[in-house]
Chains A and B, each alone.
Chain A
Amino acid sequence: MRFFVVSLSLCLAFPAQAAPPILAHCGGCGTGDTAAKSDHMHNKKASVGHTAPSFKLKDMNGKTHSLAQYKGKTVVLEWFNPECPFVVSAHGKGGVLEKMAKTVTSKDTVWLAINSGAKGRQGHSKSVNQSAAKKWKMNHPILVDADGQVGKAYGAKTTPHMFVIDAKGKLAYKGSPDNAPSGRKGSSYKAHLSDALTDLAAGKRVRTSSTSPWGCSVKYAR
């Protein structure tokens, strides 16, 4: 019952929400006010084949990263929550993301984790993120998006939700790392993210450019 009441109240609340302001750190989100009018609009902007929303975020060490600075490179964005069991599983031994960032990172490819968890919600704290980064030997930065605006601009729903931006700044892939959320790789296994990166590296169009994400919900501010 509570589930339903919450659902109903949220359903009623969303259409009435005032449009959020233009994202201060999202200058390339779109062409003006309409770019940030609503989540619905955000989803439209972060669509495959179109220019990816730009952003400027600080990592856990306070260093600023902007999408613009990586122009000319393939950029992989991984929505991250170190306490989500799917993320734990994906980064753990044998997990789909255990080695992938190290494998694909090169002079032409950058991997950025983004944590859109709000303060007080699961996986937000700096210590938890730093501990996870150390445990999983992550060499790439974890960017802090505590107000969730970059996550919403991309339509990031889950952790891990993956986005790949090509060297021209266009979104080339969005979806899941693979089709095995439980970690069980059956005969129909598809390595969606790896396949997309392989296609891009070969200069080809990404054959499967959109898949359904799996994982925990991104812990946006309520």
Chain B
Amino acid sequence: MSVRLTMIALWAIGCTASAPAGSEPAAKPVVKPVAQPSIAPDKPERQLVSMATRWAAIDPGERAQIVVELEPIKGWHIYWHNPGDSGLPTSFEVTQNGQPIGHRVRMPSPKRKVSAGSIVSYGFEGSTLFFVEPTAPQTEQDLELEAVWLACAETCVKGSKKVRIAALAKSQSAPEAGDLRAWNQLPGLRPTRWSQTSKGLVFEAPAGSTVTLYPHTELHRRLDGHALSYCIKNRCELPLKVLVDNTPDQKLWATLSVSTAGRLETFETDLLKGMSP
């Protein structure tokens, strides 16, 4: 089997558990990688954060996939889609012929930082791959992708960069192994069972494991950004106030990392969907 076919198969398998990093994860997977674009940055690289488009796939009528690498310089960081108590989400805008194109962005699970004043941040240091998936772009035309970030150390500096992704005919090239590995490590989508007790909302992973919870924006707001981690060993307990003011279609997303005997599983889950009385 060729490398390309293997890669497609792996992507297809991985897609079944995929979810976006935005506030509304979707179960529907993506794309078969078919094209290798050329990238033409329209501005010189910024000093604090370098940006490179490593690979893109465009499948007619389907989602495309663009793999973007952002790398802040040493000592600086950029933010997850829920930046936490401060900062700004790293965001992307995709246009074609000047018109915005719907897309979702998938991010790896972040690192959590608690600064003086119990200020909680979620972000990334070093090279980080973001997977931007425009919906149904015209494959015969160029795409423009703009990344917007806030880079912070002691101070913060807003930055952005726009690149052009040329429409291409089909190509035999494939993503590098590192890209594929990063893609496979993206949080999947998984239902979890949370129990409501008199004290809180409880989730328990298998005994012996360690759970870390990264709240998405709405859950973070309801937690009021406390520096508490809410999870000890294999058990997470959230205060009942997170359930206040729920609407019938309310969703409370979180990313959970469960580490068991050196094996790490990361997935996104809607707390309300998995709740039991």
Contact = CB atoms under 8 A, between A and B. Distances in A.
Contacts of B123: 3
Given A3-B123, A40-B228, A181-B88, A212 B217 contact: yes
A155 B120 CA distance: 12
Contacts of A118: 116
Given A39-B227, A40-B226, A40-B228, A10 B88 contact: no
A49 to B, nearest CB: 13
Q: How large is the interface on B (under 10, 10 to 19, 20 to 34, 35 or more residues)?
A: 35 or more
Contacts of A197: none
Nearest to A4: B111
A158 to B, nearest CB: 5
Given A85-B157, A216-B152, A148 B229 contact: no
B29 interface: no
Given A39-B227, A212-B217, A214-B88, A11 B157 contact: no
A105 interface: no
A218 B120 CA distance: 11
Nearest to B125: A3
A182 to B, nearest CB: 7
A85 B159 CA distance: 11
A2 B117 contact: no
A11 B225 CA distance: 14
A217 B121 contact: yes
A157 B113 contact: no
A10 B113 contact: yes
Contacts of B119: 157-158, 217-218, 220
Interface in B99-138: 111-119, 121, 123, 125-126
Interface string A71-94: 000000000000111100000000
A4 to B, nearest CB: 5
A14 B227 contact: yes
Interface in A90-104: none
Given A85-B157, A85-B158, A7 B86 contact: no
A152 B158 CA distance: 26
A39 B117 contact: yes
B154 interface: yes
B148 interface: yes
Interface string A10-22: 1100100000000
B75 interface: yes
A213 B111 contact: no
Given A85-B157, A85-B158, A212-B221, A3 B113 contact: yes
Contacts of B157: 85
Contacts of A84: 155-156
Contacts of A6: 113
B114 A221 contact: no
A155 B224 contact: yes
A215 to B, nearest CB: 6
A3 B113 CA distance: 7
A55 B225 CA distance: 23
A95 B111 CA distance: 31
A216 B156 contact: yes
Contact of B148 (A43, A182, A216): A182
B85 interface: yes
A161 to B, nearest CB: 9
A69 B125 CA distance: 46
A217 B88 contact: no
B162 interface: no
Interface string B215-246: 00100110011111100000000000000000
A64 to B, nearest CB: 24
Given A11-B229, A43-B226, A212-B220, A148 B117 contact: yes
10 contacts: A2-B75, A2-B125, A3-B123, A7-B111, A11-B114, A85-B155, A157-B86, A157-B119, A218-B119, A219-B154
Counting from the closest, the 10 A-B pairs by CB-CB distance are A220-B117, A157-B85, A217-B86, A220-B116, A39-B118, A3-B125, A7-B113, A10-B114, A158-B86, A217-B119
Given A85-B157, A210-B221, 11 more contacts: A7-B111, A14-B227, A84-B155, A116-B117, A122-B155, A155-B224, A155-B225, A158-B119, A213-B86, A217-B87, A221-B116
